[in-house]
Every structure is written in C-alpha cells, then in structure tokens.
Amino acid sequence: MTVKEFITSGVIETYVLGMATAQEKQEVERMAAENPEVQAEIEAISNALSEYAQMHEMAPPAGLEEKIWKTIQASEIEKTAEPKIVAINQLPKDTFFKPWMAAASILIIVGLGSLNIVFFNKWKSAEKQVIALNNEKLQLVQENQIQRTSLEETKEELAFLSANGTKAIPMKGLPRHPDIAATVFWNSLTQQVYLTTGNLPIPEEGKQFQLWAIVEGKPVDAGVFDISKGKTRLQKMKNFAAAQAFAVTLEKQGGSTTPTLEAMVVLGNI
Amino acid sequence: MASKLPISEQELVSLLKSRSEEGYRLLYKHYAGALFGVVMKIVQEEEVAQDVLQDTFVKIWKNIGGYDRSKGTLFTWMLNVARNTAIDYKRSSYVRHQIRLDGDFVGMKNEPSESKNYDFIGIDKVLNELKPEQKLVLDALYFEGYTHEEASEKLNMPLGTLKTRARTAINQLRALLKERENDS
C-alpha cells in the first residue's frame, strides 16, 4: 500500500477515534513513524476533532475556578505535610497523653499499615498461585482423560485382533501403485470389520478413500475413511457376514454407490 | 476557544510543570469552557460535571509531567483526561458524589449564576452544517467514549456502517473547517 492509499483508507480516522484494532493501531503508529505525511494526517484529524470539541464550549459556573485552585493547593500541601510528626515534642506537658504514647501509636499505626501491605501482597501472590495451580490441575485431568480413552480404545482393538475368528487380510497395491498396502481385519463370527490405512497417501481436496467388500462377486460399500498422518489406529468399518475380497478405491468426498474401478488402489483376497 | 492563548502551548506546559499559579489561571481561562462542554455532554448533569471538571484539573495538574508533546496537542491530552474522568463518574454510581460535605460548594450553589443555561456558547456555523447523524456518530465515539461495539449497539448501526459514517463525518468536518478558514 502506498502512503497515499494508506491515508485515504480510513484507518487513520478509525485510529484517532480510538476504534482501531490492536493490529491497526500498530500499523498506523509504524506508518506514522516512517512517514511524516501520515503523522501530519493524524494531527490534522486530531485537530479537526479538537475544534469540534471546542464548538461545544460551555461556561462553567462562576466560582469553580477558585474552588478548583483551592483543591489543587490542598493536594499540594498534603504532599508536603509529612514532616509534621516533629510537632509531638511541643505538645503541652500537662496533657494526659504523653508524647511517647503518641509516638508509640504512630509506630503501631505505621506498623499495622506496613503489615497490611505485606499481607495484602502475600495474599495477592497466593491467589495467583492458586489460580495457576488450578489451571494446571484442570489440564492434567483433561490429559488424563484423553490418555484413558486412548487406552480403552487400544484395549478394545487388541481384544478384537486376538479374538477367535479375526483374520488379517492384507491388501496389495495394484500394478499402478505397487508400493501401497493396507490391511483389513475381519471377524467372521462377530462380522466386525476394521482397517489400518497402511501407507495410503492423503488424497487431494474433495476426494476420499472408500472400502468395498466383494460379496458374491459384487462390490458392496464398506464405508469411507480419512487418512491422518502419524495415526496407526484401527478404523471401524461396516460389518459383513461374508465376503470374498476387500478393495479400496479413491472416490469423491463422501463416497460413491458403485466403485470407480480404474481408481482402485489396493485389493486383498480372503 | 474563548480567546487565543497569549503564550505558546509549550510555554504553558512549562508553567504548569513549574507549578505556577499563572499556569493554572491561563489553563482554566482558555480550556475550562471547552472541557466543561464535553464533560456536560457525557454526564448530562451540571453538578456532576462540576465535580468531573475539578477532578480533571487536579489530574492535569498532577500528571502534566507525563504529557508527551509528540503524541498530540495539549488539548487532545486534556480532553482524554476529561473524557475518561467523566466516563468513570458516569459508570460508577452518582449517589456517592451527591453527598456533599463541602460547605464551599453549597455556598456556591446558592449564588445566582448563568450556569442553568444549558445552551452551548459556541454554536458554530460548522456545527449547524454537519448532518444530525454525523454529529450523533462523532458524539458517541469521540465524546462519550463508547467502544465501537457499544456505539454500534447504541446507535443500532452495523459496525461497518458506523466506521464509514465516522470517516465521512470527519471528512465533512474537515471540509467545513477549511471553508470557514477561507471565509475569514
């Protein structure tokens, strides 16, 4: 963006009105530091708005000027009033309150005051620690939950793989993709079908792999599946009571009703 | 502004930093009206506006050391102080501020004054020529300190429209100011 385009983009007005996002703010301040024109534009807009504000001028009531001046002076005195403690020695001797009492009470007050500050700071930092620990705990609980679920799934998978009747059916790459392989696990007793995706690649956008069971010579849809890198989990597919072979084809997202035979990637006979 | 500052803004800032009464008097004389007008627009009640103006001047007095010329004019800086103070008052309960222990103030209230006149003195040609909806947007964003979400809700206007309107209003304002300058 050229400086001129930047100036006409409207972002400076937004900035001066305090409506800019953090990112816009940073951008405007950077541009202003680099370009005097941008800086001048910021000033021109601020000045126009200042003039706008000044058009709403209204006379404050008479007497307010003096009242404010007194308040200001009082606040100045407050600031310089601390050494007054010296006056204690000048207390009349015959008062019941002895100077040491006053001194002691001041010490007590000051002591209590500083204790308050100490306790307040301790309390603040303790509060922060509690919050941090709580967050940590929450995170650990969540992580634990994830681990547990994962362990449960692994147990189920292991049970399935070692169950009576489970067969591994390796599917080999067809001549066009000789290196690709995937495996179907099928249990003829429970009819369950699981799949590991082996080294099937991640398909292009809009495409999805689909598993087919060949039943009595005809391909029957066994479900679509996704490939996620680094995951070796078994994927549950549709159940089958009988099949002669399993095959994977690349189909459009969501799968097809009949397989595209030329897009067949792997095939395994039982 | 009521009249032109007899000294430069920089000199005024130096006077204020040296805690000179003259600095306060000049500051009040030249900016109190403008700041009071803005504060009134935000808090609407004159008694509250007086308290806000007092707080504003005390804050300006105490914090003048933190004013950075490179970040804008003195007035813009003071306007921000006034605006933030007014918004704080508006958002916290008024009741607290209505209990007045200050005898000085009570006496002042009984004085006959022109302060009941709510008209803004500076009715300006420029102000008349801005469209009502442009003034509405500027007032909401610039004076009343609404965030853009709040303003968008209050004015019942989508955020994009609000931003565009604000921009158009500023451009219109600048054009009118320029025209006025050329006329005089």
B70-100 tens-digit pLDDT: 777 888 889 889 988 998 888 775 444 444 4
Helix (H) or strand (E) holding A246: strand A245-252
Q: Which of B33, B54, B142 sits opposite A59 (nearest CB)?
A: B33
Dihedral sign, Cα of residue B2, residue B7, residue B12, residue B18: negative
Mutation target for A interface from B59, B76, B114, B138: give the one with most A CBs within 10 A. Answer: B76
Q: Which of A10, A16, A57 sits opposite B33 (nearest CB)?
A: A57
Q: Would the pLDDT of B119 be above 70? A: no
Burial class (CB in 10 A: 0-12, 13-18, 19+), A188: middle
Helix (H) or strand (E) holding A136: helix A99-161
Residue A192's nearest CA partner among A156, A231, A152 is: A156
State both tokens at B151: 């303003």
State both tokens at A196: 């590991």
CB A202 within 8 A of CB A180: no
DSSP category for residue B143: I
CB contact under 8 A, B54 and A62: no
| Confidence band for B5, pLDDT divided at 50, 70 and 90 | confident
User: Could you say which residues from 93 to 112 on chain B have a Cβ atom under 8 Å away from some Cβ of chain A?
Assistant: 104-105, 108, 111
Say yes or no: B156 contacts chain A, CB-CB below 8 A. Answer: no
Amino acid (1-letter code) at residue A220: V
Mutation target for A interface from B1, B15, B36, B162: give the one with most A CBs within 10 A. Answer: B36
Average pLDDT of chain B, as a whole number: 79
From chain A, pick out residues whose CB is under 8 angstroms from the CB of B160.
none
Burial class (CB in 10 A: 0-12, 13-18, 19+), A160: middle
Amino acid (1-letter code) at residue A263: A
B-chain residue closest to A48, CA distance: B174
CB contact under 8 A, B122 and A57: yes
From chain B, pick out residues whose CB is under 8 angstroms from the CB of A55.
120, 122-124, 126-127
Say yes or no: B5 contacts chain A, CB-CB below 8 A. Answer: no
Mean pLDDT of the region B119-136 = 73
State both tokens at B158: 């989508």
Placement of tokens 């001066």 in the chain = A16
CA angle A118, A119, A121 (to 5 degrees): 65
- Please tell me whether residue B35 adopts helix, strand or coil conformation: helix
User: Could you say which residues from 59 to 98 on chain A have a Cβ atom under 8 Å away from some Cβ of chain B?
Assistant: 59-65, 67-72, 75-76
State both tokens at A269: 């006979």
State both tokens at B6: 């007899």
The pLDDT, as a whole number, for residue A261 is 82
The pLDDT, as a whole number, for residue B130 is 86
The pLDDT, as a whole number, for residue B110 is 37
CB contact under 8 A, A75 and B1: no
Say yes or no: A14 contacts chain B, CB-CB below 8 A. Answer: yes
CB B35 within 8 A of CB B83: no
From chain A, pick out residues whose CB is under 8 angstroms from the CB of B138.
49, 52
B13–chain A nearest CA distance, Å: 16
The pLDDT, as a whole number, for residue A84 is 46
CA separation for the pair A179, A231 (Å, rounded)? 19
Q: What are phi and psi of A211, to 5 degrees?
A: -95, 140
CA angle B59, B62, B68 (to 5 degrees): 90
Number of H helices and E strands in chain A, helices first, is 6, 8
- Please tell me whether residue A194 adopts helix, strand or coil conformation: strand
The pLDDT, as a whole number, for residue A230 is 60
The pLDDT, as a whole number, for residue A95 is 55
CB contact under 8 A, A68 and B41: no
Residuewise pLDDT in 10s, chain A (270 residues): 788 888 888 888 888 887 778 898 899 999 999 999 998 998 889 888 888 888 888 899 989 999 999 999 888 776 665 544 444 455 455 556 677 888 888 889 888 888 888 888 899 888 889 888 988 888 998 899 889 988 888 888 888 888 888 999 999 988 888 888 999 999 988 999 999 888 888 888 889 999 999 998 899 999 999 887 666 678 889 999 989 999 999 999 888 888 888 888 899 988
| Confidence band for B101, pLDDT divided at 50, 70 and 90 | very low
The pLDDT, as a whole number, for residue A94 is 53
| Confidence band for B4, pLDDT divided at 50, 70 and 90 | low
Burial class (CB in 10 A: 0-12, 13-18, 19+), A257: exposed
To the nearest 10°, report the CA torsion of A203, A206, A207, A213: 140
The pLDDT, as a whole number, for residue A199 is 86
Tell me the C-alpha to C-alpha distance, in Å, between residue A62 and each of B3, B78, B121.
Answer: 18, 21, 15
DSSP bridge pairs for A17:
none
CA separation for the pair A148, B68 (Å, rounded)? 58
State both tokens at A222: 């066994």
Mean pLDDT of the region B166-181 = 88
Say yes or no: B41 contacts chain A, CB-CB below 8 A. Answer: yes
Q: What global pTM score does this model have?
A: 0.49
CA separation for the pair A200, B98 (Å, rounded)? 76
CA separation for the pair A46, A41 (Å, rounded)? 9
The pLDDT, as a whole number, for residue A149 is 87
Placement of tokens 């809700």 in the chain = B153
A44–chain B nearest CA distance, Å: 8
CA separation for the pair B126, B173 (Å, rounded)? 7
Helix (H) or strand (E) holding A148: helix A99-161
Residue B39's nearest CA partner among B51, B29, B28 is: B51
The pLDDT, as a whole number, for residue B31 is 92
Placement of tokens 């704080």 in the chain = B88
Residue A47's nearest CA partner among B74, B167, B148 is: B74
Looking at chain B, the whole-number percentage of residues with pLDDT higher than 70 is 79
The pLDDT, as a whole number, for residue B113 is 36
Beta-strand pair A193-196/A235-237: antiparallel
Rg, chain B, Cα only: 18
Q: What are phi and psi of A231, to 5 degrees?
A: -105, 130
Q: Would the pLDDT of B2 be above 80? A: no
